[in-house]
Structure 1
Amino acid sequence: MPERLPVAPRWAVGALLVMTFATGLVDAVSYLRLGHVFVANMTGNVVFLGFSLAKTDRMSVLAPIVAMAAFVVGAFFGGHLSKFLGGRPRCWLVWAFACQAAGLTLTALLLGTGVLRPEGRLVLVIIALLGGCSGLQNATVRVLAPRDLMTTVLTQTLTGLTAESALGTGTGTKPHRKIGSLLAMLAGAAVGALLLRTTLAGVVGLAAVLVAGVACVFALAPAPDDATV
Structure 2
Amino acid sequence: MAVPLPLASRRTVTALLTLTAVTGLVDAVSYLRLGRVFVANMTGNVVFLGFSAAPHSGVSAVASLIAITGFLLGALAGGRAAHTLAATGPVRWLATAFTGEAVVLGLVAVLTATSVLPFTGDGRFATIAVLAAALGVQNSTVRHLRAPDLTTTVLTLTLTGLTADSALTGGPGAKPHRRLGSVAVMLAGAAAGAAILQWSPAVVIAIAAALVAAVAVAFMTAVPDRGRRLHPDPSPFDGRGISEPLPQVPKPRRPQ
* TM-score, normalised with respect to structure 1: 0.95
1:15–1:214 CA contact under 8 A, matched in 2: yes
* TM-score, normalised with respect to structure 2: 0.85
CA distance in 1, matches of 2:179, 2:22: 17
2:48 matches 1:48 = yes
Q: Deviations over 1:116-140 (max 9, x none)?
A: 2211111101100110001111110
Q: Secondary structure at the match of 1:86?
A: helix
Letter in 1 for 2:69: A
CA distance in 2, matches of 1:129, 1:173: 39
- Any unmatched runs of 5+ in structure 1? none
- Any unmatched runs of 5+ in structure 2? 228-242, 244-256
Q: Deviations over 1:83-139 (max 9, x none)?
A: 100111110000000000011001000011121221111110110011000111111
Runs (4+) of structure 1 moved beyond 6 Å?
none
Q: Which residue of 2 aligns with 1:67?
A: 67
Q: Which residue of 2 aligns with 1:38?
A: 38
- Relative to total residues, which structure has the larger strand share, 1 or 2? 2
Q: Which residue of 2 aligns with 1:189?
A: 190
CA distance in 1, matches of 2:224, 2:104: 28
Identity of aligned residues (%): 52
Q: Deviations over 1:24-74 (max 9, x none)?
A: 000000000000100000010000011102335021110000000000000
Cα-Cα RMSD: 1.7
Q: Which residue of 1 aligns with 2:120?
A: 119
Q: Relative contact order: is structure 1 or structure 2 higher (C-alpha 8 Å, sep ≥ 6)? A: 1
CA distance in 2, matches of 1:39, 1:103: 13
CA distance in 1, matches of 2:174, 2:84: 33
Letter in 2 for 1:196: L
Q: Secondary structure at the match of 1:4?
A: strand
CA distance in 1, matches of 2:35, 2:45: 12
Q: For the pair shown, which has the larger CA radius of gyration, 1 or 2?
A: 2
CA distance in 2, matches of 1:49, 1:5: 39
Q: Which residue of 2 aligns with 1:77?
A: 77
Q: Which moved more, 1:107-116 or 1:167-176?
A: 167-176
Taking the TM superposition and a 5 Å limit, the aligned residue runs for 1:121-200 are 121-200=122-201
- Relative to total residues, which structure has the larger helix share, 1 or 2? 1
Q: Secondary structure at the match of 2:52?
A: helix
CA distance in 2, matches of 1:169, 1:185: 28
Q: Which moved more, 1:71-80 or 1:48-57?
A: 48-57
Q: Secondary structure at the match of 2:111?
A: helix
1:67–1:128 CA contact under 8 A, matched in 2: yes
Q: Which residue of 1 aligns with 2:232?
A: none
